[in-house]
Structure 1
Amino acid sequence: MTAQESPATQPGPLQGSLDHGRYCAELLAETERFRAALRGADLTAIVPTCPDWTLAELARHVGGAHRWAGELVATRATEVIAWADVPGAGGPEGSTPEALDVWLAEGAERTVAALCEAGADAAVWSWATDHTAGFWARRMAHETVVHRADAALTTGAAYEVPPELAADCIDEWLQLCALPEAAARWTERADGVFGPGRTIHLHATDAPADLHAEWILDLTGDRLAHRRAHEKAAVALRGPLTELLLALFRRRSVEDAGIEVLGDRSVFDRWLEYASFE
């Protein structure tokens, strides 16, 4: 979602499983991993998972998003701020890879400083149902997780997400997809997605047992309901946690991810076609 999208009117948190300090730390760590994936790469290369962007444009998107969120938090914004009004959000003054790398690092550091100064509960505008600084700490951490995958899949860099962060990233995605605003926005795509017996089970096979990294996507109503659970479903996907994340975000196919599919594959395929904020 972008700065131009309409704010939600309903208050209420999107519950995360990590604390504010952890999200801030992960935002810094994921930005460093993102930067590492870009170093030495051809920044004019097209990003296969975001084919409208080059690597340089992907980096400018990530760094701009960081600065935009940081500006919202730092100013305790009560309404949307346009990207064009955020200092430095358009990219670095220089055009070299080194300038881009420094710009990415500085943007993440400034945003984390604003988030830490504000605290999780500070009131801040957002496009979702949670209007707090905590929402932005979580959102920017996961935004960077997913776009780091785009960079890694382009450059061939290694890609692995810490288990607690990966599981929370999946939680957040499902929470966002379950918002009434998402259902309203995606009405025209809903044919064949919802109905009796339409359920999906995601099972991470490599996650620590105490993480309970299994999810049920219940599509039997008129919009998504979800929960962490081990239950029989119309289709089950079993594989490593990071690979499940990549498949759910449409960054890697089930086949390329080496995910085992049991049951009616079409239920999951229709969900992937439906659930996209692009």
Structure 2
Amino acid sequence: MDHSTLLVSENAAFAQVIRGADPAVPIPTCPGWTIRKLAAHIARGDRWAATIVRTRADAYVNPRDVAGGEQPDDRDAEQDWVRGGAQAILDAVAEVGGDTAVWTFTGPKPASWWIRRRLHEQTVHRGDAALALGVPYEIAPDVAADGVSEWFGLLTARPESPLPEGVTLHLHATDDGLGEAGEWVLRGTAAGLEWEHGHEKADAAVRGPAANLLLAVMRRSREGVEVLGDATVWEHWLERTGF
């Protein structure tokens, strides 16, 4: 999967969704946020990631110190601002090399890690904007499935598992052609969360199209997914997996 190309296309798709929208429209899935704040979150976040990479940061960088972080009032200028952040990340990674270790909130990682992270920051927040504006949320099943996997990877970096020890959860994307990439088995352990692609009977299972699964695991929408087995396992998972 070409995360670099996808980052650019997803960034453009996010910008297109919010283009012409009332900036004061609230984002129900991000309480207290508006379309304007969502745009700032994406554009500043992209430049923050680019700064981390370009400076080869080995410690947290304050987003307030990032150049180019001021949001334009003009809507056309804001569109350019939003669209410019993705390319800034790609340029920074190309400059330092994708294998160069830099700071991330999960510990040191190759600079290229930020490309995938910012890609799925866009896929999920495009979903937020689409839900707020009442427009369709369309995403390729393989990209949505990769977003689910990326999220599970982030959760494994946490010291505590969102599943109790010994409890298992299975997710199954119903789209054609995904194969093993569209199935996940998650296990709660004393050491934290473990996950792998695969199919096995679990305490609870959640089925649906990959796009719906992505929005569901990110606690955006429960529409389009079916929960089988012990539903309390799924509820417990959602309660303990805030970003």
Would the TM-score normalized by the shorter structure come out above 0.5?
yes
Shift of 1:60: 0.1
Matched position secondary structure for 1:53: coil
The aligned residue for residue 100 of structure 2 is 122
CA distance in 1, matches of 2:85, 2:65: 15
Amino acid at match of 1:217: L
| Equivalent-residue separation in structure 2 for 1:71 and 1:45 (angstroms) | 30
Q: Aligned residues, how many?
A: 243
Residue matched to 2:164: 194
Structure 1 regions of 5+ residues with no counterpart? 1-17
- Compute the TM-score of the two structures, normalised by the length of structure 1: 0.82
Q: CA deviation at 1:158?
A: 2.2
- 1:110 pairs, out of 55, 63, 88, with 88
* Matching residue of 1:147: 125
Q: Which amino acid aligns with 2:230?
A: D
Q: Does 1:29 align with 2:5?
A: no
Q: 1:130 to 1:98 in 2, by over 3 A?
A: same
Alignment-derived partner of residue 183 in structure 1: 159
Deviation at 1:269, TM superposition (A): 0.6
Q: Structure 2 length normalisation: TM-score?
A: 0.93
Matched residues in 2 for 1:116 and 1:160: separation? 30
C-alpha contact 1:207 1:240 (8 A) present in aligned 2: no
* Identity percentage of aligned residues: 40
Bigger relative contact order, structure 1 or 2 (CA pairs below 8 A, ≥6 apart) = 1
Give the aligned partner of residue 41 of structure 2: 61
- Corresponding residue of 2:148: 170
Mapping for residues 194-273 of structure 1, pairs under 5 Å? 194-196=164-166, 198-210=167-179, 212-219=181-188, 221=190, 223-253=192-222, 257-273=223-239
Q: Does the 8 A contact of 2:47 with 2:66 survive in 1?
A: yes
Which segment drifts farther, 41-50 or 166-175? 166-175
Query: Alpha carbons of 1:263 and 1:211: their partners in 2 closer, same or farther (altered >3 Å)?
Result: closer
1:135 equivalent in structure 2: 113
Q: Which amino acid in 1 is paired with 2:69?
A: A
RMSD between aligned residues: 1.7
What residue is the counterpart of 2:19 in the other structure? 39
Aligned partners of 1:235, 1:220: CA distance in 2, in Å? 16
Unaligned runs of 5+ in 2: none
| Paired residue type of 1:265 | A
Give the drift of 1:209.
4.2
Read off the aligned partner of 2:37 and give its amino acid letter. Answer: E
1:80 is the counterpart of 2:80: no
CA contact (8 A) 2:142 2:178 kept: no
